[in-house]
Amino acid sequence: MDPSRQTDHVAHVVDQWRHERPDLDTSPLLVIGRVHRVANALTPELVAVYARHGLGEGDFDVLATLRRQGAPYALTPGELVERTLVTSGAVSKRVDRLEARGLVERRPSETDRRSRTVVLTAKGRGVIDAAMEDHVANEARLLGGLDAAEREALAALLGRLAASLGV
């Protein structure tokens, strides 16, 4: 069976449009509609794992960004903005929240007295390491309907799409 013809909501919508407007090529809906619906279905599944660790989506993002930098697990607020792709105000609020919980610290920069660095604490490292283990296991579960070759092909195709869109 052609995968683009699977019976789902998006295929049904495309069939309806093909009937009503046969002059339109509605095939892009098969990709964009499904990507959108999948993203909407994944978000609560991901957020539930973060919540089990006392984290919101933004908190997880900041901690994971710091952790994957390697020791000393530190970035400037500006670097966090670049790497999390949110506004400086959003980063500031997230860091405030995480600092209040003892998961990060703001320290004076060693190279610029006017600047501060956000550093992952030992407690923060423990939280993000545990959350990341659960996150990866959850994502593997969510992709359980695809075999390894299908996951690899999908990852490659989504990578090409992302690159073509500049994201």
Strand pairing class (104-108; 74-75)? unpaired
Contact 69, 59 (CB under 8 A): no
Which option is the CATH number for 56-167: 3.40.50.300, 1.10.10.10, 3.40.50.2300, 1.10.3720.10? 1.10.10.10
Directed axis angle between helix 88-100 and helix 57-67, to 10°? 90
pLDDT at 6: 56
Which residue type occupies 131?
A
What is the residue-level pLDDT of the chain in tens, covering all 167 positions? 455 445 789 999 999 999 999 999 999 999 999 999 999 999 999 999 999 999 999 999 999 999 999 999 999 999 999 998 788 899 999 999 999 999 999 998 777 777 789 999 999 999 999 999 999 999 999 999 999 999 999 999 999 999 999 98
Classify burial at 122, counting beta carbons within 10 Å of its beta carbon; exposed 0-12, middle 13-18, buried 19 or more: exposed
**pLDDT for residue 62:** 96
The pTM for the full model equals 0.84
Distance from chain centroid for Cα 114: 32
